[in-house]
Amino acid sequence: MMQLVTIAGQFAAWWTARLAASAKNPENARLATVIFAVVSHNERRQAQKTSMSQQANAAGQPARRDLANAIRALSMDAVQAANSGHPGAPMGMADIAEVLWNDYLKHNPANPRWPDRDRFVLSNGHASMLLYSLLHLTGYDVSMDELRNFRQFGQRTAGHPEYEPEMGVETTTGPLGQGVTNAVGMALAEKMLAARFNREGFPVVDHRTWVFLGDGCLMEGISHEACSLAGTLKLGKLIAFYDDNDISIDGDVSGWFTDDTPGRFESYGWQVMRDVDGHDSAAVAAAIDAATAETGKPTLICCKTVIGYGAPNKQGSASTHGAPLGEDEVAAAREALGWDYPPFEIPSAVATAWDARERGASDEAAWAELLGAYATAHPELAKEFGRRINGELPEGWASFADAAIARIDAAGANMATRKASLVALDAFAPELPELAGGSADLTGSNLTKHADSTVVTGDDASGNYIYFGVREFGMTAICNGMALHGGIIPYSGTFLVFSDYARNALRMAALMQIQQILVYTHDSIGLGEDGPTHQPIEHVASLRLMPNMRVWRPCDTVETAVAWRDALERRDGPTSLVLTRQGVPHQPRDAEQIGSIARGGYVLRDSAGDPDAILIATGSEVALAVAAAERLAAEGIGARVVSMPCTSVFESQAAEYQDAVLPPAVSARVVVEAGATGGWWRYAGSSGEVIGIDCFGKSAPAGELFEHFGFSVDNVVDTTKSIVTK
């Protein structure tokens, strides 16, 4: 492989030098490189297409159908071996996949992380064997043994594709509708990065996002959210294939899915290719040609297919959707398809025709040449591009962030933490052009639009702020797609209560261990008059339950800035920033305390001697705990106040630190948080109390509500006194 890359590189260098010799100035030399890179990619495609159709005609060479049948055989055999899985969609989409992957997809199996590769998303993730077959056949590091062990413990060939960049799986799919939404995010990221980094003659960011999706994805509401926005933002390099097979699990979809799908997508501003025969390779290729020719609109290619194509007695029926075909039907399918080979055996002519490694290596080498010329012509841009693609924070980031937090502390401002979040954004964003996000139509409430924001539009994607519209789930899954693409740190905003709308996308970010910063404002009954529909109760507790979700509920400007910093530095998971609508006071701290905020919990205000009690609080209730501690001190009770903005980070600290903050000997503990109490008992212990709220809120001014639900100094003091034994 290396040899191949070198040869391609040498050829490019020779070609460039030849043109440069006849060129009048160095600018032409650079242009020559670019022309080589771009033209050669297209020419290779054309040449390859020709050779593929010649192959189909030449005796002994596999026809397209044979190549597609390799997918069918691998899929039905792997499902049969696992005795579980979904053979129908892989068999139905095999012909489409064959055309796309053999003639159009730009990728390099030897380097699944090549930044300018096309992205391929299998939104109908139950068709996982389709993807694994493609990865194996084209030459990714996916072995036949892994296909044989489909769905088995410890194997990467999981039931549904799980994000595994080294193996070529671009995103985790299975929850229907989210794959296509991730793809919208990927295509948006591509468009934004292209606008930022490409220069005349240097299309260093220039790839497509391809999606396979089925009826299920289109029935899911999130597909509306995402595809509608994709049309508005004119994501012309997004191309989706609809597996229009009339079947979902319950049978023929005519009883529950009668939309005019083409009309629907046309109304979104998409180009739609109607009634394409998904088993006619030439028709599929023609549709793709039309799709790639349209650069101002995303394209939906509606492919009529037969689910389970090739299984003579079961094709076209829901029985092929999610169960093994059975030994007899597998044998009958072999017969019908003319596939004479044993399970997991690919004849060498078929294997050779599928192998994409040479082509991939030379495509990447051509791009590397282009990048090299770009680096000469635009050294600063190239450096910045490299930094962003590698996901590195800028040089000097740590001292910059320290200084910003010190400034925010020195200002000592009293304000709502949602406002403090904007202050933090204003401080950090100018250093971080990769930070891009927006709000689901609550920009003025979430305060997500910092001073350095410029809006991304369909005609100009060079900005960093996205008006997502009222689409919480879509926004969150689009941001996942942007994170997966790379080069962008996405953030998104809405009211905390609507995190429920987005919940499965949060879960996917946590599961995939990808970065996204969720700005959740209006975090409790403290929002007041909008009432119980808008007042989160169980939300903070339930976000904390999600594995790998980090939840910060800061109490003032300084904790908010530290939380933002932590979220920006955390590359391997999502972070929820839970912020107040109402004002909260700045808390004085020394330098050591400021340093301890990042440990998730720390002593904010200590008792004069050994503590008689510990008050643990978060967010807007920290000031209440401090006031209660002062009153208790006046009454001779020493109460330590522990601010606990992030329980999971605190729990990851060494036991000595945790014990120093919460000495095990002090069992009189009161936790105060204006939310569900369930998660706090591990801190309060059996001798402690939790002041929280386990019922829905009410519509009234916030002050009255806090009083009504027990968030008052009197109640905290009385509760503490009731458990202190002194």
Ligand X SMILES: Cc1ncc(C[n+]2csc(CCOP(=O)(O)OP(=O)(O)O)c2C)c(N)n1
Rank residues 181 and 281 by Cβ distance to ligand X and give the closer one.
181
Encode 36-93 in three state secondary structure.
HHHHHHHHHHHHHHHHHHHHHHCCCCCCHHHHHHHHHHHHHHHHHHHCCCCCHHHHHH
400 CB-contact burial (10 Å; exposed 0-12 / middle 13-18 / buried 19+): middle
Q: Does 215 bind ligand X (CB under 6 A)?
A: yes
Q: How far is the CB of 60 from ligand X (least distance, A)?
A: 34
679 binds, among ligand X, Mg ion, none (CB under 5 to 8 A by kind): none
Q: Of 346, 302, 307, whose CA–CA distance to 92 is shortest?
A: 307
488 binds, among Mg ion, ligand X, none (CB under 5 to 8 A by kind): none
Rounded CA-CA distance 289/235 in Å is: 17
Rank residues 43 and 259 by Cβ distance to Mg ion and give the closer one.
259
| 590 CB neighbour count, 10 Å cutoff | 8
Q: Which amino acid is at 581?
A: R
Q: How far is the CB of 338 from ligand X (least distance, A)?
A: 24
Q: How far is the CB of 245 from ligand X (least distance, A)?
A: 5
| Residue pointed to by tokens 């049969």 | 80
Tokens of 270: 């998409």
Q: Of 129, 127, 83, whose CA–CA distance to 216 is shortest?
A: 127
Residue 309: which residues within 8 A CB-CB, separation 6 or more? 72, 91, 92, 94, 95, 279, 315
Rank residues 248 and 521 by Cβ distance to Mg ion and give the closer one.
248
Encode 671-713 in three state secondary structure.
EECCCCCHHHHHHHCCCCEEECCCCCCCCCCHHHHHHHCCCCH
Binding residues among 182-221 for Mg ion as defined by CB under 5 A: 214-215
129 binds, among ligand X, Mg ion, none (CB under 5 to 8 A by kind): none
174 binds, among Mg ion, ligand X, none (CB under 5 to 8 A by kind): ligand X
Active-site residue, 656 included: no
Among 31, 122, 233, 307, binds ligand X (CB under 6 A): 307
Rounded CA-CA distance 184/233 in Å is: 10
Rounded CA-CA distance 315/103 in Å is: 27
646 binds, among ligand X, Mg ion, none (CB under 5 to 8 A by kind): none
89 binds, among ligand X, Mg ion, none (CB under 5 to 8 A by kind): ligand X
Q: How far is the CB of 127 from ligand X (least distance, A)?
A: 6
Rank residues 92 and 645 by Cβ distance to ligand X and give the closer one.
92
Tokens of 178: 């989210």
How many CA atoms does the CB half-sphere of 294 hold within 13 Å?
22
Rank residues 174 and 437 by Cβ distance to ligand X and give the closer one.
174
| 39 CB neighbour count, 10 Å cutoff | 11
Window of 162-170, 239-247, 633-641, 648-656 that interacts with Mg ion by CB under 5 A: 239-247
Binding residues among 240-279 for ligand X as defined by CB under 6 A: 243, 245, 247-249
Window of 238-246, 297-305, 374-382, 610-618 that interacts with Mg ion by CB under 5 A: 238-246
Tokens of 398: 């740590």
- Map residues 562-601 to x or -, x wherever contact with ligand X holds by CB under 6 A: ----------------------------------------
| 49 CB neighbour count, 10 Å cutoff | 16
User: Alpha-carbon torsion 424, 427, 432, 437, what sign?
Assistant: positive
Q: How far is the CB of 431 from ligand X (least distance, A)?
A: 38
Q: Does 528 bind Mg ion (CB under 5 A)?
A: no
Q: Of 354, 348, 366, whose CA–CA distance to 4 is shortest?
A: 366
- Map residues 320-349 to x or -, x wherever contact with ligand X holds by CB under 6 A: -x----------------------------
Rank residues 307 and 502 by Cβ distance to ligand X and give the closer one.
307
Tokens of 573: 């998971």
Rounded CA-CA distance 391/404 in Å is: 22
Window of 213-221, 263-271, 292-300, 451-459 that interacts with ligand X by CB under 6 A: 213-221
Q: How far is the CB of 88 from Mg ion (least distance, A)?
A: 8
**Number of residues forming the site for ligand X (CB under 6 A):** 19
Distances (CA, A) of 651 to 116, 646, 671: 40, 9, 16
179 binds, among ligand X, Mg ion, none (CB under 5 to 8 A by kind): none
Rounded CA-CA distance 1/96 in Å is: 28
Rank residues 87 and 437 by Cβ distance to ligand X and give the closer one.
87
Tokens of 101: 């992957």
Q: How far is the CB of 161 from Mg ion (least distance, A)?
A: 18
Rank residues 243 and 472 by Cβ distance to ligand X and give the closer one.
243
Tell me which of 164, 190, 472, 621 is the catalytic residue: 472
Window of 51-59, 216-224, 272-280, 472-480 that interacts with ligand X by CB under 6 A: 216-224
699 dihedral zone (left: phi>0; alpha: psi -120 to 50; beta): beta
Rank residues 71 and 247 by Cβ distance to ligand X and give the closer one.
247
- Map residues 34-73 to x or -, x wherever contact with ligand X holds by CB under 6 A: ----------------------------------------
Q: How far is the CB of 124 from ligand X (least distance, A)?
A: 5
- Map residues 166-205 to x or -, x wherever contact with ligand X holds by CB under 6 A: --------xxx-----------------------------
Rounded CA-CA distance 417/328 in Å is: 65
Residue 688: which residues within 8 A CB-CB, separation 6 or more? 667, 668, 669, 670, 671, 681, 723
Window of 12-20, 63-71, 239-247, 338-346 that interacts with ligand X by CB under 6 A: 239-247
Rank residues 318 and 676 by Cβ distance to Mg ion and give the closer one.
318
- Map residues 68-97 to x or -, x wherever contact with ligand X holds by CB under 6 A: --------------------xx--------
**Residue closest to ligand X when measured from CB atoms:** 214
Q: Compute the CA torsion angle 386, 390, 393, 395 (nearest 10 deg).
A: -40
246 CB-contact burial (10 Å; exposed 0-12 / middle 13-18 / buried 19+): middle
| Residue pointed to by tokens 């899985």 | 85
124 binds, among ligand X, Mg ion, none (CB under 5 to 8 A by kind): ligand X
Among 123, 245, 305, 492, binds Mg ion (CB under 5 A): 245
Rank residues 245 and 261 by Cβ distance to ligand X and give the closer one.
245
Q: Does 129 bind ligand X (CB under 6 A)?
A: no
Rank residues 89 and 661 by Cβ distance to ligand X and give the closer one.
89
Give Cα 403 distance to the centre of its chain: 31
Q: Which amino acid is at 412?
A: G
Residues at the site binding Mg ion, with contacts judged by CB under 5 A: 214-215, 245, 247-248
Which amino acids are annotated catalytic?
472
Residues at the site binding ligand X, with contacts judged by CB under 6 A: 88-89, 124, 126, 174-176, 214-217, 220, 243, 245, 247-249, 307, 321
